[in-house]
């Protein structure tokens, strides 16, 4: 679901965010992680290019966004995950 947060990195350490892709179609107790065994390939992207990158785990349902030490992005960063095609 789209969301916005304002961030700036620590001056000497990178700042990280761990994101998880989930699918659901009903109440909160029906939510399930999208794991590789489900057979739905996930594609993670972050734009625009800059002082950040993604570290995607095997299985692809988690991705870590890493903001380099001392970075303070002035424009919005978009992290997008697409399931399947």
Please name the residues in contact with 69: beta carbons below 8 A apart, sequence gap of 6 or more: 9, 10, 11, 12, 13, 14
Give the pLDDT means over successive 10-residue stretches in the chain (85 positions). Answer: 70 86 67 62 82 74 84 81 75
Q: State the pLDDT at residue 38.
A: 63
User: pTM of the full predicted structure?
Assistant: 0.66
């Amino acid at each position: 679901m789209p969301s916005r947060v304002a961030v700036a990195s620590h001056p000497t350490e990178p700042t990280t965010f761990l994101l998880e892709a989930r699918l659901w179609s009903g109440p909160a107790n029906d939510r399930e992680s999208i794991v590789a065994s489900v057979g739905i390939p996930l594609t993670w992207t972050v734009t625009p290019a800059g002082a950040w990158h993604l570290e995607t785990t095997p299985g692809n349902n988690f991705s870590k966004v890493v903001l380099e030490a001392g970075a303070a992005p002035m424009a919005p960063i978009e992290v997008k995950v697409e399931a399947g095609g």
